[in-house]
Structure 1
Amino acid sequence: MADLYPWPALATIAALLVYLATFVLASRMRYRHKVMAPSTEGPEEFKRAQRIQANTLEQLVPFLASLWLFAIFVSPLWAAVLGAVWVAGRVLYMVSYFRDPAKRGPGFVVAAAACIALLAGALIGVICRLFVLS
């Protein structure tokens, strides 16, 4: 059987690159608007970039845990597919939120649905493994 764990690893790298992009965006807006650290107050464009970064970081932890639990207990390949959906959702969220915060919903929903699917699948996989192997 082929080693399929490089696929969820690739999804992990993609997710970290999305977070890095949010970090760069927030840093650029901080510099552009001369918002000196540690201040979080500034123009609307800066605040949006900062919220995008913070929200992405908040979502990264449950996503990564769910991704790898799903990969281990269900399927590395399907974990990667759902991971790619999460990444696409977060990119859509980032672009939409920066342009117009009121339109951030679809990207958030796509990413949240992927994360929920990963978590639910991981839970089912773990429960099945407990009862099948015990």
Structure 2
Amino acid sequence: MLQQLPALVVLLSVLLMFGTMYAAGKAREKHSIKAPATSGHPAFERAYRVQMNTLESTMLFLPTLWLAVHYGFAAWAGVAGLVWVAGRIWYALAYLQDASRRGGGFLLGMLGWAAVVLMAVTGIARTLLAG
């Protein structure tokens, strides 16, 4: 069961990205921000930044998750991945309300990502030293 956790984390990450895309689209519509504009109403700008920050963060997170899984840390990487997802959801919800409240979610997400990076580095180093 725990070996499958990273796959669930990837699915949750995709759903999170869809959710932020949806929120940005709804804010664009609500505040009449015509594409390709990326500024206008502050609520739209927050939603847009949440979407972009989530995409940026996910591009760092997913490769390190799969490196950690590949090098023998599937269960622990899955747990750390759930922490990352929870942090990113907290971050997104807080940022959409008030940008100054995003810090806690950002920190939790970074802790999850740091744990995955540590596992990936450990696995790669262990393999290189044994080789």
Q: Which TM-score bucket, shorter chain as reference?
A: over 0.9
- TM, length-normalised to structure 1: 0.93
- Are residue 124 (structure 1) and residue 116 (structure 2) matched? no
- Are residue 55 (structure 1) and residue 14 (structure 2) matched? no
Cα displacement string for residues 103-131 of structure 1 (whole angstroms, at most 9, x for unaligned residues):
10010011011111111210111111121
What is the CA–CA distance in structure 2 between the aligned matches of 1:88 and 1:78, rounded to whole Å? 15
| Secondary structure of the corresponding residue to residue 74 of structure 1 | coil
Query: Partner residue of 2:93?
Result: 95
**Residue from 5, 8, 23 that aligns with 1:25:** 23
* Percent identity of paired positions between Structure 1 and Structure 2: 36
2:65–2:116 contact (8 Å) kept in structure 1: yes
Query: Partner residue of 1:106?
Result: 104
2:2–2:75 contact (8 Å) kept in structure 1: no
Q: CA RMSD in A?
A: 1.3
C-alpha deviation, 1:74, in angstroms: 3.0
Cα displacement string for residues 6-57 of structure 1 (whole angstroms, at most 9, x for unaligned residues):
3211100101111110000000000111111001121110000000000000
Structure 1 residue ranges without an equivalent (≥5): none
What is the CA–CA distance in structure 2 between the aligned matches of 1:52 and 1:46, rounded to whole Å? 10
Number of residue pairs matched?
Answer: 131
| Secondary structure of the corresponding residue to residue 81 of structure 1 | helix
Structure 2 residue ranges without an equivalent (≥5): none
What is the CA–CA distance in structure 2 between the aligned matches of 1:19 and 1:67, rounded to whole Å? 16
**Residue from 66, 69, 72 that aligns with 1:71:** 69
What is the CA–CA distance in structure 2 between the aligned matches of 1:31 and 1:99, rounded to whole Å? 17
Query: Partner residue of 2:78?
Result: 80
Moved over 4 A (4+): none
- TM, length-normalised to structure 2: 0.95
**Residue from 39, 42, 56 that aligns with 1:41:** 39
What is the CA–CA distance in structure 1 between the aligned matches of 2:9 and 2:37, rounded to whole Å? 33
